[in-house]
Structure 1
Amino acid sequence: MKLAKLNGRPEIFYSIQGEGKSMGKPAIFVRTSLCNLHCVWCDTDYTWNWEKTPFKHVNDNKAGYSKYKKEEWIVEIDADEVLSKIKEHPCKRVILTGGEPLMQQKELTILAQLLHDDGYFIEVETNGTLKPAPDFDSIINQYNVSPKLSNSDNSVQLREKEDVYKFFSKSDKSSFKFVIDDPKDLDEVTNLISKYNIHPSDVYLMPQGTNGAALNQKQQWLIEICKKHGYNYTDRLHIHIYGDKRGV
C-alpha cells in the first residue's frame, strides 16, 4: 500500500484523535497517500498536490510553498510491516486516514483483517465519496465521514455521490464531520442532512483553521449553532496541543 512519507519513513504515529466522535482518545494513525479530491484548505496536501497538477491551494502564495514531487512523498509498504510498526505502540485503536484511504481499499482490507484478528478497534477517516466493499465494511468499527462542502473548492459532481451518502447515512458505524469556514456553509449542511436523512446526533461541526486563534474565533458562533440544532461541536484538539505539525 502507498503511505505518506514522514522523515523518510511511513507516516505511522501514536497520538490522540483530535477531531470528531473519538476526540481525545489515544490512537495510532496510519496515513495513506493519494486522494480523489483536492480541498483548497487541505492540511495534508502532500498526499495529492503533485507537480504539474492544476489544483489550487491556500498556500500557493506563501513563500517557499510549491507542489510536491510524487515519488518523494510516498512509501510503499505491505500490511505485515504496517502491523509490526503499529504494535510498537501501547494502544489498541487504529485510525486509517489520508489522503483518502478508500482509494486503497483492497490493500487496507488485508491490514484491517490483521488488526481485527488482533483485537484492534479500527476507525476509517473518509471524504464520503467511495463506498466500502462488504468484506472491508465487516471488519471496520467506525467511519469518520467528512463530506466536503463548496468551501473545499471541489465540484458537486466530485464531492457528492448519492449512493455513497446513502450507504454511510444508513450505517450505524458512521458519524459526519463538516468543516465550517463561514456561517453560510450551514445552508449546505442543512440541505445534506435533510436529503440523506442524517440524524443530528451523528453530525459534528468543526471550524476550519490551522492555528488556535483561527479555531477559537469560529468556535464562538459555531457552538451556538450546534446548541440550536442539536449537533455536536468538535474542535481540532491536536492543533491546540501540538500546533500545525505532522506526526503528532
Structure 2
Amino acid sequence: MLLARLNDGPEIFFTLQGEGVSAGLPAIFVRSSLCNLHCRWCDTDHTWNFEGTPWKHDKDADPAYRKHRKAEVTIEVPPAEIVDRVAAYPCKRVVITGGEPLIQQEAWLEMIRGLRVLDPAYVFEVETNGTRLPTPEFQAAVNQFNVSPKLANSGMEEKLRIAPRVLETLAAEPKAWFKFVAVEDGDMDEILALCSRFQIPPERVLLMPEGRTAAELDRHAPAVAARCLLNGWRFCDRLHVRLWGDKRGV
C-alpha cells in the first residue's frame, strides 16, 4: 500500500492523539498517501499536492514552496511490514490517517486483521473526509471514525467535498464522530445546515478552531467555544499544535 514518506521510511509514529474525542490518548499514527480532495489550507499536502497537479494551496504565497515530487514523499509498504512496525510500539491504539485512507480499504483491512491476530485489544481509529463509503467489512472492523467534512473554506465545489450517501451512512453509525474546522460565522452556519441535512446528532459534533500555532488557535477559540455552547457541540482543540507546533511525525 502507498504511505506517506517521512525521512527514509513510512510516516508511522507514536504520539498523543491531538484532536477529537480521543485527544490526549497515546496512539500510533500511520499516514496513507493519496487524497481525492485538495483543500487549500491542508496541513498534509505532501499526501496529494504532487508535481504536475493543478491544485492551488495557501502555501503558494511562499516563494520557497514547491509541489512535492511524488517519489520523494511516498513509499510502498506491504501491510505485513506495517503490522511489524506498529507492533513494535507499546500501544494498542492505532490511528489510520492520510490523505484519505478509504482509498486503500482492502490493504488497511489486511493490516487490521494482522494486528488483531497478535492482540485482539488493538483499537483502530480512521480519519476520513467523509466522501468515500466504507465497505461493510471495513466499517465493522474499525472502532472509531473521525469524520471531517470539508466546508466552502476549503476552496472546493460542494459536489467534490460533500457525498450525501456517505454522510448519511456515517451519521447513522454510532462509531462516527464529526469534526469541523471553523473560523467565521459563515462556517458555523454551513455546519448547522450540514448537521440538519444529514441528521448528525449534536452530541457527536466537534468544532475546532483553525490554526497552525497556539496563537492562531487562541485567536479563534472564543468564537468557536461560544457556538459550541449555543448548539450543544463539543469544543475540540489541537493538542499536538500546542505541544509541538506545526511539525510532522509528532
Q: TM-score, normalised by structure 2?
A: 0.97
d(CA) in 2 for partners of 1:124, 1:184 = 28
Q: Which residue of 2 aligns with 1:83?
A: 83
Residues 112 and 136 in structure 1, CA contact (< 8 A), matched pair in contact too: no
Deviation track 1:89-113 (CA, whole Å, cap 9, x = no partner) reads 1100000000000011111111122
Q: Give the one of 188, 193, 196 matched to 2:195.
A: 193
SS at match of 1:59: helix
CA distance in 2, matches of 1:208, 1:218: 7
Deviates more, 1:79-88 or 1:41-50: 79-88
Correspondence 1:70 to 2:48:
no
**Quick one: distance in 2 between partners of 1:138 and 1:190?**
28
Say whether 1:94 aligns with 2:94: yes
Partner residue in 1 for 2:129: 127
2:241 to 228, 239, 242: 239
Partner AA of 1:56 in structure 2? K
Whether 2:106 is the aligned partner of 1:111: answer no
Contact kept? 2:41, 2:58, Cα under 8 Å: yes
Work out the CA distance in 1 between the residues paired with 2:129 and 2:156: 12
Instruction: Please list the CA deviations of residues 74-100 of structure 1 after superposition, one character each: whole Å capped at 9, or x if unmatched.
Output: 110111110111112110000000000
Q: Kindly provide the amino acid, as one letter, of the partner of residue 191 in structure 1.
A: A
Structure 1 stretch 176-185 or stretch 92-101: which is displaced more?
A: 176-185
Shift of 1:207: 1.0
CA distance in 1 between counterparts of 2:155 and 2:113 reads 35
Tell me which residue corresponds to 1:54.
54
Aligned partner of 1:228 in structure 2 is 230
Provide structure 2 residue ranges, at least 5 long, that are not aligned to the other structure.
none
User: How far apart, in 1, do the equivalents of 2:61 and 2:200 lie?
Assistant: 38
Aligned 8 A contact 1:116 1:139 in 2: no
- 1:17–1:26 CA contact under 8 A, matched in 2: yes
Gaps of 5+ in 1: none
Query: What amino acid sits opposite 2:200 in the alignment?
Result: I
Residue 115 (structure 1) shift: 2.6
Kindly state the Cα deviation for residue 183 of structure 1 after the two structures are TM-superposed.
Answer: 2.1
* Matches of 2:183 and 2:132, distance apart in 1: 24
Q: For 1:158, what is the secondary structure of its paired residue? A: helix
Provide the rounded CA distance (Å) in 2 between the counterparts of 1:158 and 1:58.
19
Alignment equivalent of 1:140, drawn from 142, 146, 151? 142
Question: d(CA) in 2 for partners of 1:113 and 1:88?
Answer: 16
Offset at residue 72 of structure 1 (A): 1.1
Query: How far did residue 63 of structure 1 move?
Result: 3.0
Q: Distance in 1 between matches of 2:108 and 2:29?
A: 13
Secondary structure of the 2:142 match is coil
Equivalent in the alignment of 2:218? 216
Cα separation, 2, equivalents of 1:120 and 1:92: 5
Q: Distance in 2 between matches of 1:67 and 1:79?
A: 28
Alignment of 1:145-160 (within 5 A): 145-160=147-162
Letter aligned with residue 109 of structure 1: L
TM-aligned CA deviation for residue 21 of structure 1: 1.0
Separation in structure 2 between the aligned mates of residue 190 and residue 116 of structure 1, nearest angstrom: 38
- The structural deviation recorded for 1:174 is 0.2
Identity %: 48
Task: Check the 8 A contact 1:151/1:181 in 2, yes or no.
Answer: no
Q: 4+ residue runs of structure 1 moved beyond 3 angstroms?
A: none
User: Which SS does the other structure have where 2:64 is aligned?
Assistant: coil
Residue 4 of structure 1, CA deviation: 0.3
**2:19 partner amino acid:** E
CA RMSD of aligned residues (A): 0.8
Counterpart of 2:108 in 1: which secondary structure?
helix
